[in-house]
Structure 1
């Protein structure tokens, strides 16, 4: 198994355990508990990731079922979360759906992931548009508290590593159609900034600056092969963007402008 894919898969499974034991958060602005969507798609992807590597339906199903069951069992002893039969059923529904769609569905899903639902196929500036769309989407989610952005990041990061590795396997090294790495890079600074349109705009502009020009040694990270290398330079670009925005906040605060 490829190192990047193995890392992403292990990280993804760990993120499922972490989020499974964390208190439920109503993120979507809908009048009902939409957490079932997370359970369905999280285990839908888990089965596809496992099947893509092991090529065996029974093995992939068993591991997915085992992980879903272990998370539910751990919730019995976790003080922050109560077990739910419905959550477990949605896990199984996601696994079963992935099992049914088979190979063709798996390939289509990977294309949607690494292109970030088609943004990668836009002829001009796909990475810029994908990261901008993500920033706007997060900003418009008014009830998405800053403290919960890490939940999106912790599940998005391993997905990005796996999907980027798959894109490299199918296409070329760091293919232009693969833009989920830009989305993860954009997500990083947003985790540490309050949802202010000025701060988000600065984060976006500086992120694109560092990601496109790749100064301060970022370009060297491109030499790292695989999904980890594809995602890593965007994470570092996001880190530098965050540092610059924080410096701007400090400078403005000294001038009496608090953001």
Structure 2
């Protein structure tokens, strides 16, 4: 069971990247978005209901798995990147899939995730897996709002 938790929280091993594991986790999230688009499953736009449910399920599983490993790995270790996957997915909710939109979503999410403005850093104060996930959820929400504004004015 421990191996399954490791597979989940590292987003299939992306968290073990020696360079920028958070970026690697977000890139895996983008890869999944491409697959979802290719096979017309879990659409992000115009009706993302199933995609939103998927995000909630993955976030809850990620929180649980993070809690299972936190005693051994410590608080918010860099190899836990399922939160980056969830964050970049949130950034794409209600956004039509295109390579440009995906690149913008990735860049905006990473900006908010790294800079942690507007209360994002405070989300890390929650205990356990919730604290790991909460800052990326908020970063994804902010990135989504900025992306929506960009698309509106383009």
| TM-score normalised by structure 1 residue count | 0.54
Instruction: Give yes or no for the alignment of 1:182 onto 2:114.
Output: no
Q: What root-mean-square deviation, in Å, do the aligned CA atoms of Structure 1 and Structure 2 show? A: 1.4
Q: Which has the larger radius of gyration?
A: 1
- Report the CA distance between 1:209 and its aligned residue: 0.4
Instruction: Give yes or no for the alignment of 1:230 onto 2:132.
Output: yes
Superposed counterparts of 1:74-85, under 5 Å:
none
- Report the CA distance between 1:159 and its aligned residue: 0.7
The alignment partner of 1:173 has SS state of: coil
The alignment partner of 1:223 has SS state of: coil
- Report the CA distance between 1:210 and its aligned residue: 0.5
Q: Would you say the 8 A contact 1:120–1:178 is kept in 2?
A: yes
Q: 2:106 pairs with 201, 204, 225, which one?
A: 204
- Report the CA distance between 1:151 and its aligned residue: 3.4
- 2:122 is aligned to 220
Aligned residues: 147
- Report the CA distance between 1:217 and its aligned residue: 1.7
Gaps of 5+ in 2: none
Instruction: Give yes or no for the alignment of 1:248 onto 2:150.
Output: yes
Q: Would you say the 8 A contact 2:11–2:28 is kept in 1?
A: no
- 1:111 is aligned to 6
Gaps of 5+ in 1: 1-105, 253-259
- 1:52 is aligned to none
| TM-score normalised by structure 2 residue count | 0.89
Task: For CA contacts below 8 A with separation 6 or more, give which structure has more relative contact order.
Answer: 2
